[in-house]
Amino acid sequence: MTPTEQLCLACGLCCDGTLFDGVQLEPGDDAAHLKALGLPVTTYRGRKPVSRFPQPCAALCADRTCRLYADRPKQCRTFECKLFKQLHAGETDLPAALRLVAKTRRVADQARRLLRRLKDIEEQRSLGERFHRMDDRLRADTSDPAALALFADLSLAIHRLKLLAHERFYTRAEKTSLAE
Ligand code: SF4
Ligand code: SF4
């Protein structure tokens, strides 16, 4: 197994709803086929129809392999995060890259724990979406000081995660899970 393959199998952050909200299909992707394979693809009709499926991805296995690897859509085939590129180019080594993934995962796990303490158990939604929904909820109801204190910790964790994501993972102005 190559170092980049080892890295991705230890990571999965671009599939599990941490870095992104979902995957948008591109020309050449077969939405009906992906749907038949179990991905909940939705097509939004408009002047330019858009098909996408949400993350955490239904095809992501517990060992962080992709159940649909051979059939995965184009974005999944072509996406390489900054860390992946750096490892591939020899600008970092595997142990350092794995430490960075572990650190990022710890911050994301902390954010998920805080969301659970705030009674958000919608694990099927991306982390960014859950955070924004909680933000809306607590702006509408500021009566619980304990919840507001937890939300302050959550905001800090999400801020740390955004910094890590922008500095070490995102490669361009991607539509991300952690957008403002
Ligand atoms: S975020 Fe990068 S290192 Fe992690 S699985 Fe995706 S491409 Fe691989
Ligand atoms: S289809 Fe596979 S590669 Fe694409 S987001 Fe889902 S688990 Fe990741």
Q: Tell me the DSSP string of 70-99.
A: GG--HHHHH---HHHHHHHTTSS-HHHHHH
Would you say 105 and 10 are in contact if contact means Cβ atoms under 8 Å apart?
Answer: no
168, 83 contact by CB (below 8 A): yes
Check: pTM over 0.85? Answer yes or no. yes
Looking at every residue in the chain, the average pLDDT score rounds to 94
Read off the pLDDT of residues 41-89 as tens digits, 9 standing for 90 and up: 999 988 888 999 999 999 999 999 999 999 999 999 999 999 999 999 9
Whether 175 has a pLDDT exceeding 70, the answer reads no
pLDDT level of residue 4 (50, 70, 90 thresholds) = very high
What is the pLDDT confidence band of residue 173, given thresholds at 50, 70 and 90? low
The verdict on the CB of residue 15 being under 6 Å from ligand 2 is: yes
First-to-final CA distance of the chain: 37
Judged against a pLDDT cut of 70, whether residue 92 lies above it is answered with yes
Average pLDDT over residues 158-176: 87
Residue 73, preceding peptide bond in cis (omega within 30° of 0): no
Nearest protein Cα to ligand 2, atom 8:
15
CA of 28 to the centre of ligand 2 (A): 16
CB count within 10 Å of CB 123 equals: 12
Cα 178 from chain centre:
8
Beta carbon of 83 within 6 Å of any ligand 1 atom: yes
Instruction: Parse the chain into domains and list their residue ranges.
Output: 1-12+81-173, 20-80
Among positive and negative, which fits the CA dihedral 104, 105, 107, 112? Answer: positive
Of ligand 2's listed atoms, the one at least distance from the Cα of 58 is: 6
